[in-house]
Amino acid sequence: MNVRDLAVSAARRLRWARQWLVLATAVGLWQLWAESRKSAFFPPPSAIGSRMHQLWFSGPASHLFLTSNATGNILPSLERILLGLGIVIVVGVPLGIALGRSPAVTAFLDPLLQFGRSIPVVTAAPVFIALFKIGTQMEVATIVAGTIWPLLLNTIDGAASVDPVQIQTARAFRLSGWQRLTTVILPSAMPKIFAGLRLALSVSLILMVFSELIGSSNGIGYEMTNASNAFDLPTLWAVLVLLGILGYVLNAILYGIENVALAWHRGARQHTS
Amino acid sequence: MLEVTDLTRAYGTAGSAHLALKDVSLRVADGELVSIVGPSGCGKSTLLRCVAGLLPPTSGQVVLNGTPVTRVPGRLGVVFQDYSRSLYPWLSVRDNVALPLRRTMRGRPARRQAAAASLAAVGLTDAGHRYPWQLSGGMQQRVAIARALACDPVLLLMDEPFGSVDAQTREDLEDLILRVRAERGITILLVTHDIDESVYVGDRVIVLTPGPGQIRADLAAPLPQPRDQITTKELPEFVHLRSEVSRLVRGKPLAPSDDTPAPSDDTPARAAAPAKPGAS
Ligand SMILES: Nc1ncnc2c1ncn2[C@@H]1O[C@H](COP(=O)(O)OP(=O)(O)O)[C@@H](O)[C@H]1O
Ligand SMILES: [Mg+2]
C-alpha cells in the first residue's frame, strides 16, 4: 500500500464517518422534537427502536435473537423478494440476451415490450389475486411481473450494444457461439444488466410490501396492515424503519457484488476519462 | 500460398449496392510479407475481412493452401485496425492472448503458458496480469500482436496495425513484425496508409485505387534483409520506391526512367515474388 492508497482510504473513511454523523444528527434532532411534542403520531426514535427490539430482536440467542414474529414475517418477505428476483434473473437475462442479439425479433416485439412495461404492476395485483389466490405465489408473481421489465429492457440494451469490433474479433479467433456468448456478449452486457438489477431490487421492495398489504397472511406488509388497523403507530413506524434498513442492506449487498464483478468496468472508465 | 481471384465485394442491398472492391486478384507465396496501401475508404479492410473469411465475397474467391476460404480458416492471426476496441477490457492481458487458444488447446494452465510465451515474444513478459486499459497504446498493440501470434498462425492479417501510436513505437513495432516473420516464416498481409511503412516492411507493395478498390500496381521491394530503420531508408532503392508508391497512391503517372512494367487497371503489373524471404 503506497501513500496514495493510504490517502484514498483515509478520505473514504472520512466520508463514511461524515455520512453517519449526518444520520445520527438527524435522528437526534427528531428525538428532541418528538419528545417535546409528545405526539401519538410521531413517536421518538427511542420508542421506535425499543418497539423494533421488542417485536423482532428480543428472541433467544439460539435463534440469533430473532423473535417468532421476525421469523414469521420478515423471513417470508425476504424469501419472496429473493425468489422473485431469482426468477427474474433466470428468465430475464437469457431472454434479454437472446432478444438483444436478434434486432429483427426485438423490433417486431417492441410494441409488446413497451406496452408491458407501461402497465403499472400494482394495478395488476388484483388480477394475480384472482389467478393465484392469496399467498406467496401471488406475491412472487407480482414481484416478477414488476421487476422483469427493468431487467429485461436493460439486458436487451446491453446485449444489443456490444461493440461489433469485439464480436468480429471473437469470430476471427474462431470462438464458438457459446464461447462468444460467455466470454464476449455476457461480460460486455454486464454493466447494463447490473443497472437493471438495481432498479429491479428497489421495485421488488415496493411490490413485496404492496402485495402483502392487499393479500397475505404473513410478511412485513401484513404486519403493517395489522398495525394500521389497530392504530398501533409505534409498530407502523418500526416497520417503516425496518423497510429502510432492509432496502439499504440489500442495495449494499448488490453494490458489493457489482463492485467485484465490474471492477474492470470502473477501471477502464477511469483510465479513458 | 494465398490466392485471391477476381474478388469483388459490394455493401448494401441490390438496388443501392456500394462497390467497395472490384476484381482484385493477387497471389501471395508462403512466408511473403505483402504491404497493401491505398487511400482511406478504398476497401483495404474489406479485402482483409474477405481473406479472413469474416465477410463473404460478392463474387470471386479466396483460396488458402488449396482450400477455398468460406469461413475463418484455422491458424489465422488477425490484428484489427482498432486495437483499443478489439482487446477485451474485462480480461487480463494474459487471458486476452489466451482467448484464441480456446478452440484448439485444452486446459487453462496450458493456454496461459502459451499466452505467456507469446507475450514474451513481443517483449511484454511482465504485463500478463494487468488489464489492457492499464497499458499504453503501443503496449496494447503489442498485446494484439501477441494474441494474433498465440495460435501459431500460418497467415497473419494486419489492418493498419500501427495507425495510432507514436513514431518511435511504430518503428519498434515494424521491426518486431519483421523479426517475427524472419523467425517463423509466417505469410503476412499488412494494410497501411503509410507509404514509408509499406516499402520498409514489404517484400511487395500492392497499391489500390480509390474506391471501388482495384489493384493499381504490384511492386517488388527488393531491399536487402534484414532491414534497418536508418540504413534501409537511406538506400537509393528505398527512396526511389517510396516516391513511386507515393505517385501511384496519388494517381499520378510513374516516373519515366522506370524499369518496372507500367501497371494498368486490368493487367496489374506483377513483380516476381522473392523466393522465401522467411528462410533468408
Ligand atoms: N459494413 C459496411 N457497410 C456498408 N459500407 C461499408 C461497410 N464497411 C465498409 N463500407 C464501405 O466500403 C468502402 C471500403 O471500406 P473499407 O474496406 O473499410 O476501406 P479502408 O479500410 O480502405 O478504409 C468504404 O466506402 C466504406 O464506407
Ligand atoms: Mg480500414
| A chain contacts of residue B151, beta-carbon cutoff 8 Å | 173
Identify the pLDDT of residue B271: 44
Identify the pLDDT of residue B50: 96
Identify the pLDDT of residue B253: 59
Residue A153 CB partners (closer than 8 Å, separation 6+): A96, A113, A117, A196
* Tally: H helices and E strands in chain B: 9, 10
Looking at the DSSP bridge assignments, the partners of residue B191 are B36, B159
Residues A151 and A190 in one domain: yes
B189 CB within 8 Å of a chain A CB: no
DSSP state of B263: P
Q: In what order do the strands lie in the sheet with B2-11?
A: B18-28, B2-11, B59-64, B67-68
Structural domains in chain A (count): 2
**pLDDT-based confidence at residue B12 (cuts at 50, 70, 90):** confident
Every domain of chain B and the residues it spans: 1-74+155-280, 76-152
Identify the pLDDT of residue B250: 87
Residues A79 and A161 in one domain: yes
Q: What is the mean pLDDT of chain B?
A: 87
| Predicted confidence (pLDDT) per residue in B241-253, tens digit | 999 999 998 886 5
CATH number at A231 reads 1.10.3720.10
Q: Are B42 and B208 in contact (CB under 8 A)?
A: yes
Mean of the pLDDT values across residues A248-256?
A: 95
Mean of the pLDDT values across residues B229-250?
A: 90
Identify the pLDDT of residue A128: 86
**H/E stretch holding A246:** helix A233-261
Mean of the pLDDT values across residues B147-158?
A: 93
Q: Are B62 and B27 in contact (CB under 8 A)?
A: no
Mean of the pLDDT values across residues B11-38?
A: 91
**pLDDT-based confidence at residue B268 (cuts at 50, 70, 90):** very low
Which CATH number is correct for B1-74+155-280, 3.40.50.620, 3.40.50.300, 3.90.320.10, 1.10.3720.10? 3.40.50.300
Residues A74 and A193 in one domain: yes
pLDDT over 70 for what percent of chain B?
90
Identify the pLDDT of residue B257: 47
* Ligand at shortest distance from the CA of B49: 1
| Predicted confidence (pLDDT) per residue in A120-131, tens digit | 888 887 888 888
| B chain contacts of residue A183, beta-carbon cutoff 8 Å | 88, 91, 99, 102
Identify the pLDDT of residue B57: 95
Residues A2 and A133 in one domain: no
Measured in Å, residue B106 CA sits from the centre of ligand 1 at 37
User: What is the secondary structure of A46-87 as a DSSP string?
Assistant: HHHHHHHHHHHS-S-GGGTT--HHHHHHHHHHHHHHHHHHHH
| Predicted confidence (pLDDT) per residue in A152-206, tens digit | 999 999 999 999 999 999 999 999 999 999 999 999 999 999 999 999 999 999 9
Identify the pLDDT of residue B273: 42
C-beta atoms surrounding A51 within 10 Å: 21
DSSP state of B164: T
User: What is the secondary structure of A80-134 as a DSSP string?
Assistant: HHHHHHHHHHHHHHHHHHHHHT-HHHHHHHHHHHHHHHHS-HHHHHHHHHHHH-S
The residue segments making up the domain with residue A11 are 1-38
| B chain contacts of residue A184, beta-carbon cutoff 8 Å | 88
Distance CA B129, CA B93 (A): 6
Mean of the pLDDT values across residues A93-104?
A: 95
Residues A97 and A140 in one domain: yes
Q: Which of A226, A219, A227 is nearest to A243 (CA)?
A: A219
Identify the pLDDT of residue B256: 52
Identify the pLDDT of residue B258: 46
Residues A94 and A182 in one domain: yes
Q: Is B261 a residue whose pLDDT tops 90? A: no
pTM: 0.86
Residues A66 and A130 in one domain: yes
Residues A14 and A120 in one domain: no
Identify the pLDDT of residue B151: 87
Identify the pLDDT of residue B251: 81
Q: Are A216 and A132 in contact (CB under 8 A)?
A: no
Measured in Å, residue B188 CA sits from the centre of ligand 1 at 22
B20 lines ligand 1 (CB under 6 A): yes
